[in-house]
């Protein structure tokens, strides 16, 4: 185990000491295509060809980690990533004796002298990218290094340097990374293509050699300086190819080279791409589709996938026969793909050698068997925004080609079936499987830690069905009730006993599913918030009472079993445990669907038929509103409009008009509630299964005002939105009021306004995701180290206490009742 990682600077001695070879030659390969010794692909630097052995450690590819080499630079060069640091050092030390003479950087013109040696302190200037000037005179890296060398060791702590000597920031020896981290690739044509780093290193070796030759031959100073500068450039871009002020080093094709800094940086860099994100085996991905008949904690896995994914099983005496059978099946599911002998050798099982291997099997062998029903797997959909985005499911092998999942688990994954794909991972060790089962299985995540209520609950048809079933006037033939309950997998006499009556009420049927110890009272969605609640005698049957697991009164809708709101569901989870809640959810959702199967459930256009006289009413009302708006506009032109504080006259007018037009919808709301025919569409809206009252109004009576950025629509042509209107017209219809309904159809400009509104929604969504994505990343990075310690304090990575009691009362929201402990429910359900 790695206990810690130390960071520091490499000294020239150290670089040489760890070097396996000095690189001096510019050629990489000789005429025969073998790597040149002393070249950048020196065989001592490691192996990248399969079959060869490393010249330094003798290991084969994969085992040899590679070895560093080095280049002796003829003249020192500045390390480009430390130019700022060097500048900051120069500003606080004496350039003669090297002592630290100031806490703050020395600036200003006032001449000062060094308190240690009395030398006059020179002013330092730094010019990007790597030029330093002392009193106007340019320092070359050699001179720079000499100043840094003078700084005594005891002064280094004042500079905050503990990783090495400051002069090491001016390089005299350059480490050459092993070939394993810059492998060359052989193209199909047989041509070799080198890594970007190798290209850069070749440049450095070449200029270094040239510089050496020139110095030896006594070339004039300006040539040497030019070459020195060039060497500096190459070394700089070798470290970082995105330094401002330096031209980027480019590949022959014109593509900028990816050098060391670029390899680490950004989302595609080593850190974020390879170190924090890892690729895995034993995973599968395919399209998902729904299957309401499987349990919420199951996932349908295509046979093809099940035969490819495996789980290793260690053979014992007890499972020898079972495994032998699997091996004999070979690639016929349920079979096995590989056998691992005790000596570590893997063998592929084929139909031909199956019998042979089966005979050979004995305890100690490991069989990699196919995925089978009941195996634990992890199931995930991206973006993984919360912990419920990856949960453990039980495998159910299916003959189809998609993963199938129960509809109740769509919300935590935020999945739908318009082509979504999901990932599946198979935990390989028993520890991992146990952990997945105990911590990650779906039923343990019914309650979301975000708000402390169920995030997995009944959806759409489940709610419609239960709503219709539990209505006051629903009675079933005894035989039918019996059949429905059996259809959802309940066993007569064990799981349910029907009352001895010929007609069984829907409420009684539903009661069969509620655990016997549940007691509660709450208001259903149908509750109209009457001034005086009549409780059990509610005229709308909106007061739900459950006594000892029997639904006494009230109708079951989204407030009882729906997600995020379901009180009954929450209660079952709290007082009967997750397993019971799992069973409850499976049964309730299937009950809803089964009942709808028997009853029939359909929507049609006539669901939205409103009597003609009511339509007349609304048209009249719109007409009246328009007149009022016109009056407002007249007032505005007459400068008599009531000005709202902090608004201009025009803004005030807009506010007034918007308020007027909102009145239309509230009028329509009343109308629709009273006059819409009883239909299945209405059931959906009333039960909270799908669709809101607004949807009903917009389809049946009037779409209403379309808004853009919360205001009436003003964008468009000059002085008007569309050419259908007059210039500067302020009337409702000229700025997005749609008086038609979706059913009656919109006219041209109304349609355009409606689409404008729709487009705003789309734009908003796509722009928002990137902002919230970044916010999530930052929040995650800021808070990821926080954990609850054994002493129940919350501490961060530095072990600083952030909260003495987590959440101020220590309650885990995932185990709470909407963030709290509901004492009343405890009383009702346990005592």
Q: Which of residues 422-461 bind another protein (CB under 8 A)?
A: 435, 439, 449-453
Sheet architecture: strand order including 787-788: 787-788, 794-795, 801-803
Q: CB nearer to another protein: give 109 or 715.
A: 715
Q: Does 246 bind another protein (CB under 8 A)?
A: no
**Backbone CA torsion sign across 5, 6, 11, 13:** negative
- With CB under 8 A as the contact rule, the residue among 97, 264, 603, 693 that binds another protein is 264
Q: Does 210 bind another protein (CB under 8 A)?
A: no
Minimum separation from the CB atom of position 831 to another protein (A): 5
- With CB under 8 A as the contact rule, the residue among 52, 117, 287, 827 that binds another protein is 827
Q: Does 115 bind another protein (CB under 8 A)?
A: no
- With CB under 8 A as the contact rule, the residue among 199, 234, 656, 735 that binds another protein is 656
Who contacts 41 (Cβ-Cβ below 8 Å, separation ≥6)?
A: 28, 29, 35, 179, 184, 198
Whole-angstrom distance, CA of residue 497 vs CA of residue 508: 10
Q: How far is CA 13 from CA 16, 18, 384, 704, 775, in A?
A: 5, 9, 48, 80, 45
Q: Does 600 bind another protein (CB under 8 A)?
A: no
Return the SS3 of 608: helix
Whole-angstrom distance, CA of residue 690 vs CA of residue 25: 74
Whole-angstrom distance, CA of residue 164 vs CA of residue 181: 25
What residues from 742 to 781 belong to the interface with another protein (CB under 8 A)? 764, 767-769, 771-773, 775-776, 778-781
- 768 token code pair: 């928002």
Phi-psi region of 98 (alpha: psi -120 to 50; beta: other; left: phi over 0): left
Q: Where are the alpha helices (DSSP H) in 249-377?
A: 260-264, 303-308, 320-329, 354-360
- With CB under 8 A as the contact rule, the residue among 133, 150, 209, 265 that binds another protein is 265
Q: Does 267 bind another protein (CB under 8 A)?
A: no
Whole-angstrom distance, CA of residue 144 vs CA of residue 823: 74
- With CB under 8 A as the contact rule, the residue among 387, 547, 599, 743 that binds another protein is 387
Q: Does 18 bind another protein (CB under 8 A)?
A: no
What residues from 68 to 87 belong to the interface with another protein (CB under 8 A)? 81-82, 85
Number of residues that bind another protein (CB under 8 A): 100
Whole-angstrom distance, CA of residue 411 vs CA of residue 388: 9
What residues from 555 to 594 belong to the interface with another protein (CB under 8 A)? 564
- With CB under 8 A as the contact rule, the residue among 7, 244, 318, 639 that binds another protein is 7
Minimum separation from the CB atom of position 76 to another protein (A): 18
- The owner of tokens 């590679």 is 66
- 588 token code pair: 């309730």
Q: CB nearer to another protein: give 292 or 453.
A: 453
What residues from 119 to 178 belong to the interface with another protein (CB under 8 A)? 160-164
- Shortest CA distance to 40 belongs to which of 168, 178, 142, 171? 178
- The owner of tokens 């007349």 is 616
Cβ-based burial of 827 (10 A; exposed 0-12, middle 13-18, buried ≥19): exposed
Show the site string, 476-515: x = touches another protein by CB under 8 A, - = not. Answer: ----------------------------------------
Q: CB nearer to another protein: give 498 or 655.
A: 655
- The owner of tokens 């129940």 is 792
Residue 197 φ then ψ, to 5°? -65, -40
Q: Does 784 bind another protein (CB under 8 A)?
A: yes
Whole-angstrom distance, CA of residue 335 vs CA of residue 252: 53
Q: Which stretch binds another protein (CB under 8 A): 30-38, 383-391, 476-484, 715-723?
A: 383-391
Minimum separation from the CB atom of position 715 to another protein (A): 16
Q: CB nearer to another protein: give 39 or 453.
A: 453
Q: Does 272 bind another protein (CB under 8 A)?
A: yes
Minimum separation from the CB atom of position 580 to another protein (A): 16
Residue 361 φ then ψ, to 5°? -55, 135
Q: Does 11 bind another protein (CB under 8 A)?
A: no
Q: Are 792 and 806 in contact (CB under 8 A)?
A: yes
Whole-angstrom distance, CA of residue 586 vs CA of residue 580: 10
Minimum separation from the CB atom of position 3 to another protein (A): 7
- With CB under 8 A as the contact rule, the residue among 198, 443, 741, 816 that binds another protein is 816
- Shortest CA distance to 508 belongs to which of 557, 469, 467? 469
Q: Cβ of 292: how many Cβ atoms within 10 Å? A: 18
Q: Which stretch binds another protein (CB under 8 A): 124-132, 640-648, 688-696, 726-734?
A: 640-648
Whole-angstrom distance, CA of residue 259 vs CA of residue 181: 12
Q: CB nearer to another protein: give 353 or 803.
A: 803
Q: Are 385 and 414 in contact (CB under 8 A)?
A: yes
- With CB under 8 A as the contact rule, the residue among 38, 175, 256, 269 that binds another protein is 269
Sheet architecture: strand order including 550-553: 520-523, 543-547, 550-553
- With CB under 8 A as the contact rule, the residue among 151, 202, 261, 296 that binds another protein is 261
Q: Which stretch binds another protein (CB under 8 A): 11-19, 119-127, 336-344, 789-797?
A: 789-797
What residues from 690 to 709 belong to the interface with another protein (CB under 8 A)? 709
Q: CB nearer to another protein: give 229 or 760.
A: 760
Return the SS3 of 756: helix
Show the site string, 273-312: x = touches another protein by CB under 8 A, - = not. Answer: --xx-x----------------------------------
What residues from 406 to 425 belong to the interface with another protein (CB under 8 A)? none
Q: CB nearer to another protein: give 287 or 786.
A: 786
Minimum separation from the CB atom of position 396 to another protein (A): 27
Q: CB nearer to another protein: give 226 or 711.
A: 711
Q: How far is CA 566 from CA 529, 535, 556, 577, 817, in A?
A: 18, 19, 10, 16, 11
Q: CB nearer to another protein: give 421 or 651.
A: 651
Q: CB nearer to another protein: give 35 or 166.
A: 166
Q: Does 831 bind another protein (CB under 8 A)?
A: yes
Q: CB nearer to another protein: give 638 or 831.
A: 831
Q: CB nearer to another protein: give 751 or 792.
A: 792
What residues from 310 to 349 belong to the interface with another protein (CB under 8 A)? none
Cβ-based burial of 210 (10 A; exposed 0-12, middle 13-18, buried ≥19): middle
Q: Which stretch binds another protein (CB under 8 A): 47-55, 346-354, 368-376, 794-802?
A: 794-802
Residue 365 φ then ψ, to 5°? -75, 155
Q: CB nearer to another protein: give 7 or 727.
A: 7
What residues from 212 to 241 belong to the interface with another protein (CB under 8 A)? 240
Q: CB nearer to another protein: give 107 or 275.
A: 275
Whole-angstrom distance, CA of residue 193 vs CA of residue 187: 7
What residues from 519 to 538 belong to the interface with another protein (CB under 8 A)? none
Whole-angstrom distance, CA of residue 58 vs CA of residue 325: 44
- With CB under 8 A as the contact rule, the residue among 107, 530, 533, 786 that binds another protein is 786
Q: CB nearer to another protein: give 53 or 387.
A: 387
Q: Does 385 bind another protein (CB under 8 A)?
A: yes
Q: Does 1 bind another protein (CB under 8 A)?
A: yes
Q: Does 823 bind another protein (CB under 8 A)?
A: yes
Whole-angstrom distance, CA of residue 293 vs CA of residue 289: 12
């Amino acid at each position: 185990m790695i206990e810690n990682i130390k960071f520091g600077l490499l000294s020239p001695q150290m670089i040489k000491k760890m070097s396996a070879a000095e690189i001096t030659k510019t050629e990489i390969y000789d005429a025969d295509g073998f790597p040149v010794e002393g070249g950048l692909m020196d065989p001592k630097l490691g192996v990248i060809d399969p079959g060869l052995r490393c010249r330094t450690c003798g290991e084969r590819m994969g085992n040899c980690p590679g070895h560093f080499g080095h280049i002796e630079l003829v003249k020192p060069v500045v390390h480009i990533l430390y130019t700022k640091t060097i500048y900051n050092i120069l500003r606080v030390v004496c350039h003669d004796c090297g002592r630290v003479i100031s806490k703050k950087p020395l600036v200003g013109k006032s001449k000062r002298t060094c308190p240690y040696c009395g030398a006059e302190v020179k002013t330092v200037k730094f010019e990007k990218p790597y030029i330093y000037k002392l009193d106007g005179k340019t320092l070359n890296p050699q001179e720079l290094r000499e100043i840094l060398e003078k700084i005594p060791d005891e002064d280094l702590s004042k500079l905050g340097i503990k990783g090495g000597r400051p002069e090491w920031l001016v390089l005299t020896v350059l480490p050459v990374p092993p070939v394993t981290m810059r492998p060359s690739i052989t193209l199909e044509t047989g041509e070799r293509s080198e890594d970007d780093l190798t290209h850069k290193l070749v440049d450095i070796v070449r200029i270094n050699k040239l510089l050496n030759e020139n110095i030896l031959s006594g070339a004039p100073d300006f040539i040497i300086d030019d070459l020195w500068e060039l060497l500096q450039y190459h070394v700089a871009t070798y470290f970082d190819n995105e330094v401002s002020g330096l031209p980027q080093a480019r590949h022959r094709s014109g593509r900028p080279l990816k050098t060391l800094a670029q390899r680490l940086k950004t989302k595609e860099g080593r850190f974020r791409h390879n170190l924090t994100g890892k690729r895995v085996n034993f995973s599968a991905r395919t399209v998902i589709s729904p299957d309401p008949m499987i349990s919420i904690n199951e996932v349908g896995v295509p046979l093809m996938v099940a035969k490819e994914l495996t789980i290793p099983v260690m053979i014992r005496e007890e499972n020898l026969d079972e495994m032998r059978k699997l091996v004999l099946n070979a690639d016929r599911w349920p079979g096995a793909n590989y056998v691992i002998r005790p000596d570590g050798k893997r063998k592929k099982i084929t139909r031909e050698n199956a019998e042979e291997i089966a005979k050979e099997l004995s305890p100690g062998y490991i069989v990699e068997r196919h995925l089978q029903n009941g195996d634990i797997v992890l199931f995930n959909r991206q973006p993984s925004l919360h912990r419920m985005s990856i949960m453990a499911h039980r495998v159910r092998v299916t003959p189809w080609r998609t993963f199938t999942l129960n509809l109740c688990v769509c919300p935590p994954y935020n999945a739908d079936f318009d082509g979504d794909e999901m990932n599946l991972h198979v935990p390989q060790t028993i520890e991992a499987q146990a952990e997945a089962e105990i911590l990650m299985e779906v039923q343990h995540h019914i309650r979301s830690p975000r708000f402390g209520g169920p995030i997995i609950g009944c959806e759409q048809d489940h709610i419609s069905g239960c709503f219709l079933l539990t209505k006051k006037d629903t009675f079933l033939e005894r035989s039918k009730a019996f059949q429905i309950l059996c259809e959802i997998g309940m066993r007569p006499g064990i799981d349910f006993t029907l009352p001895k009556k010929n007609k069984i009420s829907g409420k009684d049927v539903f009661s069969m599913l509620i655990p016997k110890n549940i007691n509660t009272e709450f208001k259903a969605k149908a509750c109209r918030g009457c001034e005086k609640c009549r409780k059990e005698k509610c005229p709308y049957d909106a007061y739900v009472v459950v006594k000892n697991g029997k639904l006494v009164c009230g109708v079951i809708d989204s407030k009882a079993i729906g997600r995020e709101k379901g009180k009954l569901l929450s209660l079952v989870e709290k007082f009967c445990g997750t397993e019971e809640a799992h069973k409850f959810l499976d049964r309730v959702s299937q009950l809803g669907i089964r009942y709808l199967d028997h009853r029939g459930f359909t929507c049609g256009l006539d669901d939205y038929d409103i009597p003609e006289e009511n339509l007349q009413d609304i048209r009249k009302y719109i007409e009246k509103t328009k007149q009022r708006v016109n009056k407002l506009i007249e007032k505005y032109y007459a400068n008599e409009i009531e000005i709202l504080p902090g608004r201009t006259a025009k803004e005030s007018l807009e506010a007034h008009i918007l308020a007027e037009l909102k009145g239309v919808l509230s009028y329509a709301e009343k109308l629709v509630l009273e006059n819409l025919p009883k239909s299945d569409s209405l059931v959906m809206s009333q039960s909270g299964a799908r669709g809101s009252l607004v949807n009903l109004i917009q389809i049946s009576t009037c779409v209403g005002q379309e808004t853009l950025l919360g205001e009436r629509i003003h964008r468009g042509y000059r002085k008007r939105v569309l050419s259908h209107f007059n210039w500067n017209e302020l009337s409702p219809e000229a700025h997005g009021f749609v008086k038609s309904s979706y059913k009656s159809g919109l006219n041209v400009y109304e349609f355009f306004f409606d689409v404008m509104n729709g487009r705003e929604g789309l734009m908003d969504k796509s722009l928002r995701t990137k902002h919230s994505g970044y916010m999530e990343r930052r929040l995650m990075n800021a808070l990821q180290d926080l954990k609850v310690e054994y002493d129940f304090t919350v501490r961060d990575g530095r072990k600083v206490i952030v909260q003495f009691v987590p959440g101020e009362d220590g309650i885990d929201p995932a185990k709470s009742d909407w963030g709290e402990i509901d004492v009343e429910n405890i009383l009702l359900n346990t005592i």
